[in-house]
Amino acid sequence: MLSSTVFIYLQLIVTLSLTLGRKAPGTLHSRNSFYVGGEYSNTEIAFGQIYVEHLVPADVTRPLPLMFICGRGQTGINLLNTPDGRAGWADYFLSQGYEVYLIDQPSRGRSPWQKSVDGPQTTLNTTYIESHFTATARYHLYPQADLHTQWPGSGVAGDPIFDAYYFSTVPSLSSDLETSQKMRHAGVALLERIGQPVILMTHSQSGAFGWLLRDARPSFVRAIIALEPVGPPFINAVFPPFASLRPYGLTELPIQFSPPLMSPKDLSPQLVNSIPNVACYEQISPARQLVNLADVPILVVTAEASYHVLYDNCTVNFLKQAGVKVDHVELGNLGFHGNGHMMFLEKNSDEIVDQVVHGWILEKGLGRKIQSLPYFRYGFTIMPTRLVMLLKATASFLSHQAS
């Protein structure tokens, strides 16, 4: 097994660095990487596959792995380290006994962009990143921008922490529709390969994929954590132009409503609230229900100084109207002040993941500790959940044989 080899190798490194008097940073884990979801074009090249990193702590003590899909312009590196050199959220979850899956979206980062098959790409420039994410107070594009204090460093090009972050920004497919189609395809392939339920965490542009993947494979998505998911329903807000988007409310692609839609127009969006630069729409009542999202715990997290604070409530209301149970946490109300859209990279990122995100997972009973089975020095681990699945499969096989 590749992962066992990597594991032994990591143990070797740890032993060596301890011998040399240096402590290995972060949580001891094994790392496996693979590609999934590719298809062949008629020119005999593969496209649409995503790069996946699977991190497994030495002690897996939680039943559900965490799967993370980054937002626009980002890659799985989002959770590995913060740009100011601290351990990222992936390490936090490893330290708590969770397996972690990090992915690069199709045609992004380490996932190939094929010139003849994939559509055009866009790169976010420094002005965009500074004004929306890292130095919002300097630009003041929305009222809460001034509250931003948690980005480490000045947040502008030339600052070493900004540069470390900005250099990790990569081109993304320009079309939201194309991205959605490719990401749903690859995301389903990954969920099937993992083969057990996960906690799916999304951020920003990938927010739509939380809803779509749960809709496509309800049994494999046990919970959704949406960090400032793309919104609000049906239309862009805060930054003009206010283009109509997301014809199914929160997604570009069809998602299952009950009663079913003949056309997205059946949702008949109605303006329910309007503040400067934010038009909030809901369905005309009685609202169609998002049936595949009805029974999954969902957490939406919104930061105090992010532009999302102006409309995440509208996104949450749309979900609730469609029969979805959502817990909406506004960080400012919990005493986490001054965060922007990239809260998982900011100065108080450790407190947010521990108290807000993991706190919620535990509150929902999704992180209940399981007995970690002894692992043997040869780098061999048995996931307890997999063992249970294996036993169940064996039992069902034997009962079929008997009958």
Ligand X SMILES: *[C@@H]1O[C@H](CO)[C@@H](O)[C@H](O)[C@H]1NC(C)=O
Among 34, 40, 128, 139, binds ligand X (CB under 6 A): 128
**Only segment of 16-24, 123-131, 206-214, 321-329 that touches ligand X (CB under 6 A):** 123-131
Nearest distance from C-beta of residue 284 to ligand X, angstroms: 16
Which of 168/273 has CB closer to ligand X?
273
Q: Using the Cα atoms of residue 72, residue 76, residue 82 and residue 88 in order, give the sign of their dihedral.
A: positive
Among 18, 24, 275, 294, binds ligand X (CB under 6 A): 275
221-227 and 298-302 strand pairing: parallel
Indicate whether 280 belongs to the interface with ligand X (CB under 6 A).
yes
Using CB under 6 A, which residues numbered 285 to 314 contact ligand X? 309-310, 313-314
Task: Count the helix, strand and coil residues of the chain and give each as a percent rounded to the nearest 5.
Answer: 35, 20, 45
Nearest distance from C-beta of residue 135 to ligand X, angstroms: 14
17 is catalytic: no
Classify each residue of 304-333 as buried b or exposed e, where b means 16 or more C-beta atoms within 10 Å of its C-beta.
bbbbbbbbbbbbbbbbebbbbebebbbbbe
Indicate whether 270 belongs to the interface with ligand X (CB under 6 A).
no
- Could you tell me if 55 and 29 are in contact, meaning their C-beta atoms sit under 8 angstroms apart? yes
Nearest distance from C-beta of residue 249 to ligand X, angstroms: 14
For the CA atoms of 202, 203, 207, 211, what is the dihedral angle to 10 degrees?
20
Using CB under 6 A, which residues numbered 314 to 373 contact ligand X? 314, 317
Nearest distance from C-beta of residue 313 to ligand X, angstroms: 4
For 200, the enclosing helix (H) or strand (E) is: strand 198-203
Nearest distance from C-beta of residue 275 to ligand X, angstroms: 5
Indicate whether 127 belongs to the interface with ligand X (CB under 6 A).
yes
How far is it, in rounded angstroms, from Cα 201 to Cα 303?
16
Nearest distance from C-beta of residue 95 to ligand X, angstroms: 35
Structure token pair of residue 386: 């997999």
Indicate whether 125 belongs to the interface with ligand X (CB under 6 A).
yes
Which of 158/374 has CB closer to ligand X?
158
Assign 226 to helix, strand or coil.
strand
Indicate whether 239 belongs to the interface with ligand X (CB under 6 A).
no
Question: How many binding residues for ligand X (CB under 6 A)?
Answer: 11
50-57 and 29-36 strand pairing: antiparallel
First to last CA, the chain: 36
- Could you tell me if 353 and 384 are in contact, meaning their C-beta atoms sit under 8 angstroms apart? no
Which of 134/313 has CB closer to ligand X?
313
Which of 11/273 has CB closer to ligand X?
273
How far is it, in rounded angstroms, from Cα 353 to Cα 402?
49
Which of 128/139 has CB closer to ligand X?
128
Nearest distance from C-beta of residue 335 to ligand X, angstroms: 17
**Only segment of 42-50, 122-130, 194-202, 370-378 that touches ligand X (CB under 6 A):** 122-130
Active-site position among 131, 204, 206, 306: 204
Indicate whether 273 belongs to the interface with ligand X (CB under 6 A).
yes
Q: Which of 101, 110, 94, 128 is nearest to 32 (CA)?
A: 101
Indicate whether 177 belongs to the interface with ligand X (CB under 6 A).
no
Residue 28, CA distances (Å) to 14, 99, 194, 361 in order: 8, 12, 21, 22
Strands annotated E in 215-348:
221-227, 270-275, 278-282, 298-302, 326-330
Assign 330 to helix, strand or coil.
strand
Please report how the helices 207-216 and 176-194 are oriented relative to each other, as an axis angle in degrees rounded to 10: 50
- Could you tell me if 250 and 315 are in contact, meaning their C-beta atoms sit under 8 angstroms apart? yes
Indicate whether 123 belongs to the interface with ligand X (CB under 6 A).
no
Which of 241/286 has CB closer to ligand X?
241
Amino acid of residue 203: H
Which of 216/309 has CB closer to ligand X?
309
Which of 78/313 has CB closer to ligand X?
313
Nearest distance from C-beta of residue 136 to ligand X, angstroms: 15
The residue ranges that bind ligand X (CB under 6 A) are 125, 127-128, 273, 275, 280, 309-310, 313-314, 317
Positions marked catalytic? 204
